[in-house]
């Protein structure tokens, strides 16, 4: 068994029960996770995270107990009971295996198709070429329509019926058909190596053929950042509008990230949310360095008004988004306000993360961000314990900080996307699954006019 170690920030977003992870071109399923040290949260950060988890997903967490007026023994008892309901732990270790759904492989040269155990020593028993993981059957209807659905199902070994009728036994190989090269899965065929009989490959009912990917499972993670020490104020040189009240370097910020579950499915329409067993929540807590941006509370109305103006020729498109995501009558006024704040703040975080890697010349996963809708602040920070010098290099050099903001500003202005876009706001590993991102909300913040095609 091969053992690999990963940074904690990577582990919390990738290694949890049910997750699909890839290593050296092979996809595995995480089947076991051992818990590490527990993490205890005070009421304020817990309630903030709980509120955001509920708005980001369908996961409901219990409220923090009201300890006012209680004696010390009562407080101890209530906290102890609460900690049994909400078990927050670091990840101790994880075991990923090739599960039943992932065990089928095929030869990349001759098409021989069988279970992994027949590909001894990593070579095809027929032609000695390298095997690769086979396509799988992926659920094609909303996962919420079925009770406890399998998202991925294996394609089983098939015997040639023509050979069987003549008293022979032959297992089908998997070969590409003669159709369009742009839709290879639609053209897959079973072929008998003996009689060369062919049959189309069909997925089971409610499923479709798909390439295997760890993106079928994505962790839901919400973070909070508590400022421990305040550094110098940073000048943005007019590259941000007056809606940004201040930018501040934070030499010590405590970040807590909670992952209570994950989404499964290949697209937004087919996704479903799953909780971890036994009310388990996987967490990460570390001290790092960051830069905090504080918004004027009037920014939210200006942001949505500007976005509405951008869509003056497509009013139906904007109205449909607003009535679905913000001003939905099923939401109370307070929740409508919270949802608008989430869209603005989350988009702002991604806008600032879009160019931080390019300016600091560090990997994208070395940075992360979060927001506090109650204080109208966002925080971008080094995603490692103690910091790695990324945000600090921007804070210490005013010219670098201005260059960084100029890059972010330019990206928001020149991109031509409508909503989510890999070129500007999309971030791999986003704890909110890259939802609630709308570039045109950022026009008033960066003081630019945005357009789309």
The 10s digit of each residue's pLDDT in 168-192 is 888 899 988 887 777 778 888 999 9
Residue 228 phi/psi, 5° resolution? -100, -30
What is the distance between the alpha carbons of residues 335 and 354, in angstroms, rounded to a whole number? Answer: 28
For 319, the 3-state DSSP assignment is helix
Domain range for 358: 220-446
Specify which of 29-33, 119-123, 163-167, 180-184 reaches the highest per-range mean pLDDT.
29-33
**Do residues 307 and 342 make contact, with C-beta atoms less than 8 angstroms apart?**
no
**Do residues 177 and 189 make contact, with C-beta atoms less than 8 angstroms apart?**
yes
Specify which of 26-35, 51-60, 227-236 reaches the highest per-range mean pLDDT.
227-236
On average, the pLDDT of the chain sits at 89
* 230-251: average pLDDT: 96
Q: What is the pLDDT of residue 393?
A: 94
Beta carbons within 10 angstroms of residue 54's beta carbon? 15
| Residue 34 within a domain | no
| Residue 297 within a domain | yes
Number of domains in the chain: 1
Q: What is the pLDDT of residue 34?
A: 92
Lowest model confidence (mean pLDDT) among 1-10, 28-37, 440-449 = 1-10
pLDDT of 233 above 90: yes
pLDDT band (50, 70, 90) for residue 214: confident
Looking from the CA of 281 toward its CB, the CA atoms found within 13 Å total: 30
What is the distance between the alpha carbons of residues 131 and 115, in angstroms, rounded to a whole number? Answer: 10
* Angle made by CA atoms 372, 393, 413, in degrees to the nearest 5: 60
Beta carbons within 10 angstroms of residue 399's beta carbon? 9
E runs forming strands in 355-400? 367-372, 377-382
| Residue 134 within a domain | no
Residue 344 phi/psi, 5° resolution? -70, -50
**Do residues 343 and 420 make contact, with C-beta atoms less than 8 angstroms apart?**
no
Structure tokens at 79: 């906290």
Q: What is the pLDDT of residue 213?
A: 84
Q: What is the pLDDT of residue 85?
A: 85
Q: Which of 354, 209, 328, 223 is nearest to 286 (CA)?
A: 223
| Residue 90 within a domain | no
What is the distance between the alpha carbons of residues 432 and 221, in angstroms, rounded to a whole number? Answer: 7
pLDDT of 268 above 70: no
Choose between 187 and 257: higher pLDDT.
Answer: 257
| Residue 199 within a domain | no
| Residue 49 within a domain | no
Q: What is the pLDDT of residue 191?
A: 93
* Antiparallel, parallel or unpaired: β 280-295 and 87-97: parallel
**DSSP conformational letter for 416:** -
Distance of alpha carbon 314 from its chain centroid, rounded?
30
| Residue 105 within a domain | no
| Residue 270 within a domain | yes
- For the entire predicted model, the pTM comes to 0.88
pLDDT band (50, 70, 90) for residue 382: very high
């Amino acid at each position: 068994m091969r053992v690999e170690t990963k940074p904690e920030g990577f582990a919390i977003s990738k290694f949890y029960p049910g997750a699909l992870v890839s290593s050296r071109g092979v996809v595995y399923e995480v089947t076991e996770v051992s818990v590490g040290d527990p993490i205890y949260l005070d009421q304020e950060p817990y309630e903030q995270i709980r509120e955001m988890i509920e708005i980001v997903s369908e996961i409901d967490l219990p409220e923090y107990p009201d300890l006012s007026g209680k004696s010390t023994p009562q407080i101890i008892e209530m906290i102890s009971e609460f900690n049994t309901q909400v078990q927050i732990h670091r990840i101790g270790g994880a075991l990923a295996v090739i599960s039943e759904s992932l065990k089928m492989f095929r030869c990349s040269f001759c098409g021989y198709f069988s279970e992994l155990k027949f590909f001894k020593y990593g070579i095809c028993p027929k032609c000695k070429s390298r095997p690769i993981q086979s396509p799988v059957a992926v659920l094609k209807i909303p996962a919420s329509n079925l009770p406890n659905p399998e998202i991925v199902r294996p394609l089983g070994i098939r015997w040639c019926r023509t050979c069987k009728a003549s008293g022979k036994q032959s297992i089908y190989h998997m070969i590409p058909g003669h159709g369009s090269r742009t839709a290879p899965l639609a053209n897959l065929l079973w072929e008998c190596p003996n009689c060369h009989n062919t049959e189309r490959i069909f997925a089971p009912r409610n499923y479709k053929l798909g390439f295997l990917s760890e993106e079928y499972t994505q962790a839901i993670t919400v973070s909070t950042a508590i400022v421990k020490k305040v550094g110098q104020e940073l000048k943005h040189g007019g590259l941000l509008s007056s809606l940004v009240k201040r930018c501040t370097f934070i030499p010590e910020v405590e970040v807590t990230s909670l992952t209570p579950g994950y989404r499964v499915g290949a697209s937004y329409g087919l996704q479903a949310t799953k909780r971890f067993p036994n009310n388990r929540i996987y967490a990460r807590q570390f001290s790092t360095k960051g830069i905090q941006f504080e918004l004027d509370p009037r920014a939210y109305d200006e942001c949505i008004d500007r976005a509405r103006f951008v869509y003056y020729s497509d009013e139906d498109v904007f109205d449909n988004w607003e009535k679905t995501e913000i001003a939905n009558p099923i939401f109370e006024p307070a929740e409508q306000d919270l949802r608008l704040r989430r869209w603005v703040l989350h988009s702002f975080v991604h806008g600032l993360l879009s160019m931080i890697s390019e300016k600091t010349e560090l990997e994208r996963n070395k940075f992360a961000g979060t927001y506090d809708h109650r204080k109208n602040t966002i925080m971008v920070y080094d995603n490692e314990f103690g910091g790695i010098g990324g945000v600090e290099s921007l804070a210490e050099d005013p010219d670098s900080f201005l260059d960084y903001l100029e890059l972010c500003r330019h990206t928001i202005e020149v991109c031509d996307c409508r909503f989510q876009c890999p070129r500007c706001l999309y971030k791999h590993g986003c704890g909110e699954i890259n939802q609630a991102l709308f570039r045109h909300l950022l026009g008033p913040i960066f003081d630019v006019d945005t357009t789309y095609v």
